[in-house]
Structure 1
Amino acid sequence: MKKKFFSVRQLSKLLFTTLLLSAGLSSGSNLLLQDNQIIHAETLDNAIANETSQRTLTIWKYAITDFSQLEPRGDGTVTNPSRELIPGIQFKVERVNKINGGASLTDPKVQTLGTDYEIDSTFTAQTITTDSTGKAILDLGTGRANDGIYLVTELPDNRTGADLAATDGKKIETPVYPFFVYIPQTSRSDLSSLIYDVQVEPKNILEDLLHPDKTINDKKGDSVQAGQTFRWELTTNLPAGLWQIASQTGTIDILDETGNAVDSVEMVAGQPIVYRNGSNLVQPNFSMVDELNSDLTYIPDSAKMQVRQAGGEWIDLASEDYTVSFESSTNTVTTTLTEAGLSKVGSVANGYTDIRTLLSTHVPEGWNNIVENTFTVNHQIPGQRPKSTTPPETTNPKYYTGGFDIEKMEENSEEGLAGAEFKLAISESNANNKIFIASNGNSYAEDANLPTGVTFLTTTSDENGHATFDGLALDWTDANDNNYVENGEVSRDYWVVETTAPQGYELLKEAQRVTVDLTTADDATIELTVLNRPQTSLPFTGGTGRTALISVALIAIVAGATVSFLYKKWKQA
């Protein structure tokens, strides 16, 4: 056989090629030789990148409700998961170069700009936006000119109009973390082939649009007599993913208020996604905070939490499902779900959609005013920022009472009369039948035995003839019968009965109706003026005729007694 000899020049070329390949292996760089040119490819085992294929980066933007819905990591092809697509989301795409001596570029969370990589200034950064189908495409052209490693950064969600309406007004809670993409990319299933149209499917959690609402006695406005207990209801829909079971193993960030990662937590497939400080659960968390108006007094141990399914009846949570705390210095009531409560309330299997806190308060007896109150829902889920949500100020519920003034005057002199006592009835019929309102808001007959500690509402005119009834319940009427409005009709009619007149004066003979509203408690206006007439001078009983009759009677009595005495003495003789 004829032997083939290599020339010195051929041996030099072979040695140079071998050395270059060895350098590529030792450094981990993605270099190959073709026609004495350096070309880009992802790994040494890849097929040679051609000059004819179209290079594109295609991003599909999907929405998920929580991390338990994450699918396995993408492989550069389209999987088209059954998820909601999000239009109008922008991505910044930059090409980067690995810095010699730096780590291999796999994850921007791990590798550092300036240490492991730098931005390639020869490539102009591009911004692409997902269209109405939730897809964004970056066309890099044909050939190897733009092959390389790209850094993709999701920009903040600034959608408006139709793009925002496509997700029912919900914006992205937290953008996906930046990621590297090789273009072209080695096929994950066939290491001998390249993908020129790399498909990426980042998934985002949409923000929870909580709709907290507060009511009083299940209405937006209500009134009970001052001093009596009334209830507040703090209600909201439940945030999605309050209790998540990981679908796969991985790591998620723990974020602060600004969205910066302060820690991380390992997800374990099949286990709850939780973040702990030692044995104490930190995230997820859920609480409802009610900083009560200073005029309100919290009824101790009155707070409790309830849940319901959509349109269903409210169900009490067990005592171990939540805690209640009251801070007297700030007049604040806080209810917080425990770990047992979070797992129960957040369980998809239980199907709960709403949660509320009930608590009771009262105002001082005789209090006149309008008091409105709001509350805050606080919650945080691992991988999301902490959130605080408060109902719109225009929806604050209102508690209110009213009062009125009485002026007791002498009929002609217009001087005030002291000592007139008045009671109050809820209707004219009650007034006529002496059924009066008591301090507990109920009505009783005047001669009834009242419950312990209960007295009739009574006022007595002072030396100037002035008397007041305060803290009275009012009726609220509005066209939509669901929202309290300042200019709505808020009033109630009461009947005043004078039960004791001043010395020397006649009682008022008829009950007097007074319409009480939100303005009548103002002492500048007298709602009821009561004129008392002096008692008439009736004739003295008796006279001269009567005196004579009395004298004759006395004489007859004496004479009769004398005759009886003398008769008895005669019989004894």
Structure 2
Amino acid sequence: MRRRAHPHLTGAPAVLVPTERRNGMKTRTTSLKRLAAGAGALSLAMVGLIGTAATAAVEPGPGNITGTTGTLTIHKHSGNPTVMGDGTEITDEGAIASLGAGLVGVEFSIERVTRAGDPIDLTTTAGWDDAQDATVADVQNDANGFGVSAADGTASATTIADGLAEVNNLPYGLYLVTETNPGANNIVSPVAPFLVSIPYPADGSWLYNVHVYPKNKLNTTEAEKTVEDPGYAVVVGSILNWTITAPVPAKSSDDTYRSFTITDDLDGRLVPQSVTVSSNGTALGSSDYTITPSLPGTAGATVTVKLTSTGLEKIAAGDVITVDLSTEVGTLGETNVFENEAVVNTNDSQVTTGKPAVYYGALEVNKYDEESESALSGAEFSLYEADENGEPTGDPIASGVTGPDGKLTFDGLWAGTTADASRDYVLVETKAPAGYVLPEDASVVVTIYAASENASVNVTSQSVSNTQQDGPNLPLTGSTGTLLFTIVGIALIATGGTIAAVRHSRSKA
């Protein structure tokens, strides 16, 4: 009589298991029947196992099974295998290369399957009959009499070097294997839970060390975040626009996109204003995603964009989801940089963007008298962006007047997006203090640097002097009478000298 089939992986190659007829009849061989595909079966394309919702189709016989315990060896890799597994260890070099890198730290639970509360015993015909009927869904949901046991045979395993995990001393039976933790591996499509028998039928014999090769899809995408050049001073009320670009990673063929979120934890000085979401440059509908919190939000909010079920149905591997986030500068604070990174999560796999930045500084103007070096108030200045020739361009960015201390500060001047960036501005004195002369060249190029060694907010100091106006011509000191006496006195002295010289010359004659 034909025995019922053993559970086997959907999509695995046929395994021929001989069964002997009694009373000296000839040995005959029956081929392995294919199973209906389940949600997780295709992800186990490397191994002869039961996949999600799969049932079995070999005709094993327990009569020649020896021993009581066996081993399950799990090989966890990230590649796209080129061969099918059959429960034996893969030794072909090309096939091994196709497996990809071994994944270390992936955790599995191995639970023994029960029927009517008792562990399925594969040393009996009844046990194989029960295994034939088992599906992952029934076992997981305690349906149709199936379940798992907390008794002997339940174990856990974590892959080590080369993605290998070995579980020894498993009592013969049917086991539910579940990937419970990806470890440090960025797995977007974990292997679906599967069933495996210990021992496993193989060409008329039994495998007591069953090798399985469940694979994963890793999220290898690179998300990016950029910030738009604000093009003017970064002051309270300025708008900074950020763009997050998130490629959709590939998933296993039997998996779905269950979640896709982009999260941006904003700088505490930035107030989120608005968000737009697009896929491959085409705007998504409002029903395709949700945004939390509602916008405009509060300073420092964590903005989360989450695709809804309708949005998830529209994405495919390689699509690029773009989120444009507009923020307003609520305050400049104590540091001279705004920087943010975003996190993109797909099916619990996570990638982080870079951290773009907006660096800014301040310009402090010191106005003083050129002679006395005393501070001058009332000098008026305008600040412009500089063109490639160092000349002012466009409208003034800001204007101001020096105070009693002769100082004027322009805050929040954009320097660039990297720590070594700098930006030139042109400072123009438009009106000198009362009583002082406006310089012939009333403009000076000033450079704002992103980095500052001496201050948390980079301040560029620019000293500008003025000279006083000339006063009117003043009259000579004294009266006209005094001047007259002075002239007469000089004339008398000159006359007396002349007379004396004449008398001296006559006396000699």
Residue in 2 that maps onto 1:438: 396
> How do 1:302-341 residues align onto structure 2 when only pairs under 5 Å count?
303-308=275-280, 314-327=281-294, 328-329=297-298, 330-341=300-311
SS at match of 1:211: coil
One-letter amino acid of the counterpart of residue 414, structure 2:
A
One-letter amino acid of the counterpart of residue 207, structure 2:
D
**1:343 CA displacement:** 1.0
Q: In the alignment, is residue 419 of structure 1 matched against residue 378 of structure 2?
A: yes
Structure 1 gap ranges (5+): 1-33, 35-44, 141-145, 161-168, 188-192, 248-272, 274-282, 309-313, 381-385, 440-456, 477-483, 541-573
**1:491 CA displacement:** 1.9
Residue in 2 that maps onto 1:358: 324
> How do 1:108-147 residues align onto structure 2 when only pairs under 5 Å count?
109=140, 110-113=146-149, 118-119=152-153
The alpha-carbon distance between structure 1 residues 157 and 93, as it changes in their structure 2 partners (threshold 3 A), is closer
SS at match of 2:438: coil
**Cα deviation digits, residues 90-131 of structure 1 (max 9, x gap):** 9999998989972646467543435xx5359xxxx9999899
1:371 to 335, 338, 347: 338
The alpha-carbon distance between structure 1 residues 157 and 118, as it changes in their structure 2 partners (threshold 3 A), is closer
CA distance in 1, matches of 2:173, 2:327: 63
CA distance in 2, matches of 1:501, 1:416: 13
**Cα deviation digits, residues 49-93 of structure 1 (max 9, x gap):** 34899x987867576899xx9xx9x99799999984675779999
SS at match of 1:473: strand
Residue in 1 that maps onto 2:367: 408
CA distance in 1, matches of 2:117, 2:456: 82
**Cα deviation digits, residues 159-193 of structure 1 (max 9, x gap):** 99xxxxxxxx76696576574524364x8xxxxx9
The alpha-carbon distance between structure 1 residues 509 and 521, as it changes in their structure 2 partners (threshold 3 A), is farther
**Cα deviation digits, residues 231-288 of structure 1 (max 9, x gap):** 21222331333xx8859xxxxxxxxxxxxxxxxxxxxxxxxx6xxxxxxxxx822221
SS at match of 2:268: coil
SS at match of 1:196: strand
SS at match of 2:118: coil
> How do 1:220-299 residues align onto structure 2 when only pairs under 5 Å count?
224-227=232-235, 228-241=238-251, 284-299=258-273
**1:458 CA displacement:** 0.8
The alpha-carbon distance between structure 1 residues 59 and 235, as it changes in their structure 2 partners (threshold 3 A), is same
The alpha-carbon distance between structure 1 residues 97 and 505, as it changes in their structure 2 partners (threshold 3 A), is closer
One-letter amino acid of the counterpart of residue 340, structure 2:
N
SS at match of 1:415: coil
The alpha-carbon distance between structure 1 residues 496 and 428, as it changes in their structure 2 partners (threshold 3 A), is farther
Of all paired residues, the percent bearing the same amino acid is: 22
The alpha-carbon distance between structure 1 residues 364 and 504, as it changes in their structure 2 partners (threshold 3 A), is farther
**1:526 CA displacement:** 6.8
One-letter amino acid of the counterpart of residue 149, structure 2:
L
> How do 1:449-488 residues align onto structure 2 when only pairs under 5 Å count?
457-475=398-416, 484=418, 486=419, 488=420
CA distance in 2, matches of 1:324, 1:93: 36
**Cα deviation digits, residues 439-463 of structure 1 (max 9, x gap):** 4xxxxxxxxxxxxxxxxx2110111
**1:514 CA displacement:** 2.1
**Cα deviation digits, residues 131-167 of structure 1 (max 9, x gap):** 97x9999999xxxxx994375867888999xxxxxxx
**Cα deviation digits, residues 8-43 of structure 1 (max 9, x gap):** xxxxxxxxxxxxxxxxxxxxxxxxxx9xxxxxxxxx
CA distance in 1, matches of 2:109, 2:310: 44
**1:194 CA displacement:** 5.2
Q: In the alignment, is residue 514 of structure 1 matched against residue 446 of structure 2?
A: yes
Residue in 2 that maps onto 1:493: 424
1:224·1:230 contact (CA, 8 Å) conserved in 2?
A: no
CA distance in 2, matches of 1:76, 1:322: 44
CA distance in 2, matches of 1:418, 1:93: 78
Aligned pair count reads 383
The alpha-carbon distance between structure 1 residues 425 and 85, as it changes in their structure 2 partners (threshold 3 A), is closer
Aligned-residue CA RMSD (Å): 5.4
SS at match of 1:356: strand
1:422·1:499 contact (CA, 8 Å) conserved in 2?
A: yes
* TM-score, reference length from structure 2: 0.57
**1:412 CA displacement:** 2.5
Residue in 2 that maps onto 1:343: 313
